[in-house]
């Protein structure tokens, strides 16, 4: 009883899938995420534009935040808190620059993704969105106070529109904030570059 035939086996008509040859000396873990490997440009943004945007944001937040810090904590503890925050910020930026150069990474989200994985990158992006929404709310409160006025403790402070045109429905706080959001902020956040 014979099992099989003695004739040579005909080659299969289906070609085998070509397997990718992997370098045996390659590291087990990549230095950066694969999506970062093709990232060599800043998506149309310039370095000077990024510096200007960051500077105006920091200066604007600092002008609003520093007096409140000193008022709440007092002069000496407030100044110490400001100095401590500056030192921690400087050290954090130094670490980020050092590790982004080592991994050849050009964005903050990619740096966090390289350090903490996809969940770290997602949590950083979520915290940036939440922080930006909070800052937008602060700006809207300031715009509402300055343009339409405010009432606190029974004392009314007239805003710019009330001072110029008197009290009307379109000089009220709600209309001013909704109009500013739809006419100013919505178009600004829709643009890729400002």
Q: Domain boundaries in the chain?
A: 47-104, 117-194
Minimal CA–CA distance to 34: which of 108, 123, 84, 105?
105
- What span, in angstroms and rounded, lies between the C-alpha atoms of 81 and 53? 25
The one-digit pLDDT tens for each residue of the chain (194 residues) are 555 566 556 555 555 556 566 566 666 555 655 554 444 455 666 777 777 777 777 777 677 778 888 889 999 999 999 899 889 989 988 988 888 888 888 778 888 888 888 898 889 889 988 988 888 888 888 888 888 887 777 777 888 888 888 888 888 888 988 999 899 888 887 876 65
Q: Distance (Å, rounded) from C-alpha 67 to C-alpha 55?
A: 19
**CA distances, 108 to each of 116, 125, 141 (Å):** 12, 9, 29
Q: How many residues does the chain have?
A: 194
Name the residue among 131, 132, 159, 158 with its Cα closest to residue 143: 159
Alpha-carbon gap, residue 123 to 98, rounded angstroms: 22
Distance CA 178, CA 82 (A): 35
Q: Where are the beta strands (DSSP E) in the chain?
A: 149-152, 155-158
The whole-number pLDDT of residue 46 equals 73
pLDDT (0 to 100) of residue 37: 44
The SS3 of residue 68 is helix
Residue 91: per-residue pLDDT: 93
Is-contact 27 103, C-beta < 8 A? no
**Can you give the pLDDT at residue 99?**
85
| C-alpha pair distances (Å), 54 with each of 62, 108, 188 | 12, 13, 16
Please state the pTM of the whole predicted model.
0.53
């Amino acid at each position: 009883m014979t099992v099989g035939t003695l004739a040579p086996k005909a080659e299969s008509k289906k070609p085998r899938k070509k397997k990718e040859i992997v370098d045996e000396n390659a590291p087990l873990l990549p230095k950066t995420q694969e999506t970062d490997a093709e990232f060599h440009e800043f998506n149309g943004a310039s370095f000077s534009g990024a510096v200007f945007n960051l500077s105006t944001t920091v200066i604007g937040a600092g002008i609003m935040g520093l007096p409140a810090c000193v008022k709440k904590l007092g002069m000496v503890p407030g100044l110490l808190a400001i100095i401590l925050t500056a030192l921690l910020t400087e050290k954090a930026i130094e670490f980020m620059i050092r590790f982004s150069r080592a991994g050849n990474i050009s964005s903050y989200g990619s740096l966090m993704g390289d350090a903490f994985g996809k969940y770290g990158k997602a949590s950083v992006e979520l915290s940036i969105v939440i922080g930006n929404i909070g800052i937008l709310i602060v700006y809207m409160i300031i715009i509402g106070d300055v343009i339409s006025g405010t009432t606190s403790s029974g004392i009314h402070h007239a805003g710019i529109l009330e001072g110029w045109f008197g009290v009307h429905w379109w000089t009220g706080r709600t209309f001013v904030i909704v109009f500013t959001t739809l006419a100013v902020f919505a178009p600004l956040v829709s643009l890729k570059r400002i």
